[in-house]
Chains A and B, each alone.
Chain A
Amino acid sequence: MPKYKKIQIVLAGIFAIIFLRFYYLQIYQHSKYEAKAGNNSIRKISLHAPRGIIYDRNGIPIVDNRQIYDLAVIPFDVTNQFDYQMVSKRTGVSSSELQEKIAKGKKSFHRFRPVPIKRHINFETRSHLEENKLSLPGTIFSEFPARTYPDKAKLTHVLGYLRVVSDMTASKPNQELDYKLGDVFGFSGIERMYESILRGRDGTEFRLVDIYGIDHGVYKDNPGIQPVPGKAVNLSIDSKLQALIEELFIGKKGAAICMMPKTGDVLAFVSAPDYDLNSFAGPVPLELWEGWNSDTEKPLINRGIQGLYPPGSTFKLIGAALANEEGKVDQNWTVNCNGVYHLGDRDFHCWNIAGHGTVNMERAILQSCNIYFYHLIQKLSFKNWKAMAEKFGFGATTGIDLFGEKRGLVPGKTYMNNKYGRYGWATGNLLTFIIGQGDILVTPLQVTQMMSIIATRGNTKTPHLLLDNPSENITVSLKSKTWDFLQQATWNVVNHENGTGKAAKVMGCEVHGKTGTAQNPHGENHSWFAGYIVKDNVPILSLAVLVEHGGKGSVEAALISHKIFKYAQKNISL
């Protein structure tokens, strides 16, 4: 073989090796390097979908969105002119920490990637920093959605608040919503309940970025996904009524719930004390939350559905309903109240120590006479009484669209046997039950529901907060004369000159109600008022007001109810 052929063959061999190396990289490992090239230059930008706005029943926004910002720095772009002092002053991040972060970033392979400096800065801080952009090379801001509460009505416990997904496994409330670290999610209240409506879907955008971090526009080959904004939620809440009640509860503890008996719409829902949703931007800072959590006033508890109280005299309606339904007693059956009742070796008192004299059932409710009911319960069966209480929704959750609702407790035989032993309890316990004391525990919402049932003669709906969301029917079938009696008796409480609920009376409207005083071993008694208002022969609003340590129900709670009824008379119609 001639020499030149040999050289050509060697040459071809070397060229083939080079070719094979290129082939290996460009064909065999193509996808790997394609991904790497993409990682280099393509930045996936998350486009935040704005969260849905929450309106009240009249279209007034209660929860809106606002932007807060995250400050970050691209280490590569930071020069000697960078004013560490200014950033430190505006954000509170110490200047030495800043310098350390940036110096570390500059050495890193990812020196073109933003390093987060401070999260959740507000618009003013951003503006200040933005004005001095020239002495702050490399700073960038990313927008971050937060909530704002523009209305006077706070509705704290109903609305709830947001948290940031910080640990994917622990705080993922809703699997199918595709959370990423750093996303916000509804942690409580309506924000949590209707997360899937409010959240929307974040979009993505792919942008080309050169080695200096300069943006070169949208990446053509992948258009990304447009964000889908969260849908609005309309609450059944009347924000004006809500604000009114919140104002009445300033300085007080307790709860007040108003609803429309016919539809189940919750018109107002107050739990006091509350906490300030506006006191933090974005997610709740841990310190703040811990503060609320350790507060002895327990602002985090939603008293409307989580506060458990003895219902007091409001519960006499259950006994009265049972007595009427079973026809065990009639209006002519009377009891002489002299202020005290002896059973065995125990004395049971009426709240009126002087006694009410001769009372029939109507008067007994009107004046809330305990002695009458001590006699009455002995004519009724404990089992049936419990069943009647359960018919009116006690001892079970109402099913309102909020998390954490408590069932309360209507004690029955089994419960008593378990608690006191088969022979450890007696009729004496029953005497306390029928006047709503002792082991019975109810939530204000349950009491509201009871009033709705009475107002609608057993045809109400599950209370709910989402407007135009037909909820389940609640049907309680009792005899017509039982309903007549209950409605008449509650009317008397408010309108009769001796009625305990006189304070709640509204001129020109038909107001029904029942007062209650829940005995509280820890201090002043809790004050109850439960009732409803009828306008043009239609019950338009039922309510329960509980003022902790409010004393007699005839005073504090009834006065608040009076103001609510007055509002309803003017502003609410079906």
Chain B
Amino acid sequence: MLRKTFLYNYYLNKIFRAPDKIVIRWGMLVPVLILMGIGFITLKYTSLNSSFFTSTFTKQIVWFAIGSIVFILAQWIRIQYFQEYAYHFYGFLIILIGITYFMPVIGGSHRWLIIGNVSFQPSEIGKLLLVFVIARVLADQKGNMNEIKLLLLILVMALIPALMIFKQPDFGTAIVYGFIAIPMLYWSGIRSFYLFSVIAPFVSIISAFNIYFFSLWMGILVLVIYFNQPKITIGVSQFIINIGCGIISPFIWYNFLYSHQKERILTLLNPTRDPHGTGYQVIQSIIAIGSGGLWGKGVGEGTQTQLRYLPVRDTDFIVSVIGEEMGLLGITIILVVFFTLLYWIIVYAGIISNKFSSLTLIGFASILFIHLAVNMGMTVGLLPVTGLPAPFLSYGGSFLLSCMLIVALSTNIINHHI
């Protein structure tokens, strides 16, 4: 009866299908398990003081169990469903993010949809939906659209939810939304020079505050423009736009921003400015990592961690805990393992000829990559504190679920095509 329902139900058949074959992709699964293992060990020792049932360690195990079930169930999903309904999902996502503005503020921002006791963060699963819609648009192109128009279209599609999320405010997730499109555009064959042109003004704005850095950047800009030999008008206008951005941003900075706004942004860029606020966390994080040395202080032995000098050690700064207690060795394992995971996803993306599937894999890899890079960059003071967790390491149920779903759907896609 159930089998009959499943086989012949129109809607279920759209969403689910029997998997073509079950092949365990060890190159992707083993890294995930290693990362989870490191995460579990770390959480075990950061939650020593809380009781077993309420500790982050136990909760994370429960989420991992749920994630494993989701992982297996996801193998039955018919991936083309997301391609067919990508626009619907996209529209649905925009609406959901819109609704969050009418939801109560939790922790200083409204990112959550709250229905009864269940709260849900649409921007979390939205990352995947954005990948699908961009992959769909790019896959649909048969060379009948102007490259620049296509580029702008994709950027607008990414920036609409990105800006909405930025307004929630959730700076970190907004960055993820803004970033995803770039590797996918590159993968779809857009000329690198165009991508460069899109990114360049942002670099100009930031570099303008340091005259040496700005000069260096302008040099690079001129060289890139020269070697790509665009039309003279385009080359010159590009140069002018970047110079303009560079000049205008300090002008706005010094004339139109209130001091508290400046303070907030400066702390974002240089945490040592204010040792009591956000900067304090980064300083403690750097001390934790630096004091870990090559071998680390031993699991559960980190003074920065165990004596609570390190803030939010379960989530945002879990890499700092690993750096302190497992040393450069632990960090190296994370980097190698994570690189392996991304390496295989990219390899399969190169093999698969289906454009949508291939682009989706690249999008997924981008999500995982940007999270890890921003998170680790933040713990060592290379990037501002944005609150992006580290995939498979940080404590957090819904984020762990979406990370596992990403790997699950990747396996699904790979098994379907290869």
Contact yes or no, A32 B290, CB < 8 A = yes
Which of the 9-residue segments B140-148, B324-332, B408-416 touches chain A? B324-332
Contact yes or no, A26 B331, CB < 8 A = yes
B392 to nearest A CB, angstroms? 16
**Given that A30-B290, A37-B303, A41-B307 are known contacts, is A11 also in contact with B346, CB under 8 Å in the complex?**
yes
Contact yes or no, B328 A22, CB < 8 A = yes
Contact yes or no, B376 A36, CB < 8 A = no
Contact yes or no, A109 B287, CB < 8 A = no
Contact yes or no, B346 A4, CB < 8 A = yes
Query: In residues 1-56 of chain A, which contact B (Cβ within 8 Å)?
Result: 2-5, 7-8, 11-12, 14-15, 18-19, 21-23, 25-27, 29-30, 32-34, 36-38, 40-42
> Which residues does chain A contribute within 8 Å of B342, judged by CB atoms?
11
Q: CB within 8 A of A212: which of B288, B303, B308, B382?
A: B308
A8 to nearest B CB, angstroms? 6
> Which residues does chain A contribute within 8 Å of B284, judged by CB atoms?
40
Q: CB within 8 A of A211: which of B276, B307, B350?
A: B307
Query: In residues 279-296 of chain B, which contact A (Cβ within 8 Å)?
Result: 284, 286-294
**Is A104 engaged at the interface, CB distance under 8 Å to the other chain?**
no
**Is A209 engaged at the interface, CB distance under 8 Å to the other chain?**
yes
**Is A216 engaged at the interface, CB distance under 8 Å to the other chain?**
yes
**Is A210 engaged at the interface, CB distance under 8 Å to the other chain?**
yes
Instruction: Please name the residue on chain A nearest to B296 by beta carbon.
Output: A26
**Is A72 engaged at the interface, CB distance under 8 Å to the other chain?**
no
Instruction: Please name the residue on chain B nearest to A2 by beta carbon.
Output: B350
Most chain B Cβ neighbours within 10 Å, of A11, A18, A109, A209: A18
> Which residues does chain A contribute within 8 Å of B114, judged by CB atoms?
none
> Which residues does chain B contribute within 8 Å of A38, judged by CB atoms?
291, 303
Q: CB within 8 A of A37: which of B287, B328, B338?
A: B287
Contact yes or no, A4 B291, CB < 8 A = no
A488 to nearest B CB, angstroms? 83
Contact yes or no, A34 B331, CB < 8 A = no
Contact yes or no, A27 B294, CB < 8 A = yes
**Given that A4-B350, A11-B342, A41-B309 are known contacts, is A26 also in contact with B303, CB under 8 Å in the complex?**
no
A441 to nearest B CB, angstroms? 67
> Which residues does chain B contribute within 8 Å of A7, judged by CB atoms?
183, 186-187, 346, 362
Instruction: Please name the residue on chain A nearest to B286 by beta carbon.
Output: A25
Contact yes or no, A25 B290, CB < 8 A = yes
A403 to nearest B CB, angstroms? 48
Q: CB within 8 A of A12: which of B293, B332, B339?
A: B339
A212-B306 Cα distance, complex, nearest whole Å: 12
**Given that A11-B342, A216-B307 are known contacts, is A26 also in contact with B187, CB under 8 Å in the complex?**
no
**Is A208 engaged at the interface, CB distance under 8 Å to the other chain?**
yes
Contact yes or no, B373 A18, CB < 8 A = yes
A216-B48 Cα distance, complex, nearest whole Å: 14
B339 to nearest A CB, angstroms? 5
Instruction: Please name the residue on chain B nearest to A36 by beta carbon.
Output: B287
A402-B177 Cα distance, complex, nearest whole Å: 84
Instruction: Please name the residue on chain B nearest to A19 by beta carbon.
Output: B335
> Which residues does chain A contribute within 8 Å of B291, judged by CB atoms?
30, 33-34, 36-38
Tally chain A residues at the interface, Cβ within 8 Å: 36
Contact yes or no, B307 A208, CB < 8 A = yes
A212-B30 Cα distance, complex, nearest whole Å: 40
Contact yes or no, A3 B335, CB < 8 A = no
A40-B307 Cα distance, complex, nearest whole Å: 9
| Majority DSSP secondary structure for residues of A touching B | helix
> Which residues does chain A contribute within 8 Å of B169, judged by CB atoms?
none
B305 to nearest A CB, angstroms? 10
Contact yes or no, B335 A26, CB < 8 A = no
> Which residues does chain B contribute within 8 Å of A25, judged by CB atoms?
286, 289-290, 323, 380
Contact yes or no, B380 A34, CB < 8 A = no
**Given that A12-B339, A208-B307, A216-B307 are known contacts, is A29 also in contact with B290, CB under 8 Å in the complex?**
yes
> Which residues does chain B contribute within 8 Å of A109, judged by CB atoms?
275-276
Contact yes or no, B380 A22, CB < 8 A = yes
| Majority DSSP secondary structure for residues of B touching A | helix
> Which residues does chain A contribute within 8 Å of B346, judged by CB atoms?
4, 7-8, 11
**Is B349 engaged at the interface, CB distance under 8 Å to the other chain?**
yes
B283 to nearest A CB, angstroms? 9
Query: In residues 63-112 of chain A, which contact B (Cβ within 8 Å)?
Result: 109
**Is B347 engaged at the interface, CB distance under 8 Å to the other chain?**
yes
Q: CB within 8 A of B288: which of A15, A23, A32, A37?
A: A37
Query: In residues 344-381 of chain B, which contact A (Cβ within 8 Å)?
Result: 346-347, 349-350, 362, 369, 373, 376-377, 380
A218 to nearest B CB, angstroms? 13
> Which residues does chain B contribute within 8 Å of A4, judged by CB atoms?
346-347, 349-350
Instruction: Please name the residue on chain A nearest to B301 by beta carbon.
Output: A220
> Which residues does chain B contribute within 8 Å of A27, judged by CB atoms?
293-294, 328
> Which residues does chain A contribute within 8 Å of B308, judged by CB atoms?
210-212
> Which residues does chain A contribute within 8 Å of B209, judged by CB atoms?
none
Instruction: Please name the residue on chain A nearest to B339 by beta carbon.
Output: A15
| 0/1 string, B206-248, CB within 8 A of A gives 1 | 0000000000000000000000000000000000000000000
Contact yes or no, B376 A26, CB < 8 A = no
A73-B170 Cα distance, complex, nearest whole Å: 40
> Which residues does chain B contribute within 8 Å of A29, judged by CB atoms?
290
Most chain B Cβ neighbours within 10 Å, of A3, A209, A216: A3
Contact yes or no, B289 A22, CB < 8 A = yes
A36-B283 Cα distance, complex, nearest whole Å: 10
Instruction: Please name the residue on chain B nearest to A28 by beta carbon.
Output: B290
**Is B42 engaged at the interface, CB distance under 8 Å to the other chain?**
no
> Which residues does chain A contribute within 8 Å of B331, judged by CB atoms?
19, 22, 26
A11-B343 Cα distance, complex, nearest whole Å: 9
> Which residues does chain B contribute within 8 Å of A19, judged by CB atoms?
331-332, 335
Contact yes or no, A33 B373, CB < 8 A = no
**Is B304 engaged at the interface, CB distance under 8 Å to the other chain?**
yes
Contact yes or no, A41 B304, CB < 8 A = yes
Q: CB within 8 A of B293: which of A5, A34, A36?
A: A34
Contact yes or no, A36 B369, CB < 8 A = no
A30-B290 Cα distance, complex, nearest whole Å: 5
> Which residues does chain A contribute within 8 Å of B347, judged by CB atoms?
4, 8
Query: In residues 15-74 of chain B, which contact A (Cβ within 8 Å)?
Result: none
> Which residues does chain A contribute within 8 Å of B292, judged by CB atoms?
26
Contact yes or no, B376 A33, CB < 8 A = no
A41-B306 Cα distance, complex, nearest whole Å: 10
Contact yes or no, B303 A42, CB < 8 A = yes
A19-B331 Cα distance, complex, nearest whole Å: 8
Most chain B Cβ neighbours within 10 Å, of A5, A7, A8, A19: A7
> Which residues does chain B contribute within 8 Å of A22, judged by CB atoms?
289, 323, 328, 331, 376, 380
A416-B280 Cα distance, complex, nearest whole Å: 79
A14-B290 Cα distance, complex, nearest whole Å: 20
> Which residues does chain B contribute within 8 Å of A26, judged by CB atoms?
289-290, 292-294, 323, 327-328, 331
Instruction: Please name the residue on chain B nearest to A35 by beta carbon.
Output: B291
A18-B347 Cα distance, complex, nearest whole Å: 22
A214 to nearest B CB, angstroms? 9
Instruction: Please name the residue on chain A nearest to B382 by beta carbon.
Output: A21
> Which residues does chain B contribute within 8 Å of A41, judged by CB atoms?
303-304, 307, 309
A201 to nearest B CB, angstroms? 28
A467-B192 Cα distance, complex, nearest whole Å: 95
Contact yes or no, B304 A34, CB < 8 A = no
> Which residues does chain B contribute within 8 Å of A11, judged by CB atoms?
339, 342-343, 346, 369
A418 to nearest B CB, angstroms? 71
Query: In residues 250-272 of chain B, which contact A (Cβ within 8 Å)?
Result: none
A-B contact pairs, 26 of them (CB 8 A): A3-B187, A4-B346, A4-B347, A11-B342, A12-B339, A14-B373, A15-B338, A18-B376, A19-B331, A21-B380, A22-B331, A22-B380, A25-B286, A27-B293, A30-B293, A33-B286, A34-B290, A36-B287, A36-B290, A37-B287, A37-B324, A40-B287, A40-B309, A41-B303, A211-B307, A211-B309
Q: Given A2-B350, A27-B293, 9 other A-B contacts at CB below 8 A?
A: A11-B342, A11-B346, A19-B332, A22-B380, A26-B293, A26-B327, A33-B286, A40-B304, A209-B307
- Sort A-B residue pairs by CB-CB distance and give the 10 closest, nearest first: A33-B290, A4-B350, A37-B291, A210-B307, A41-B303, A25-B290, A26-B328, A33-B291, A211-B308, A34-B291
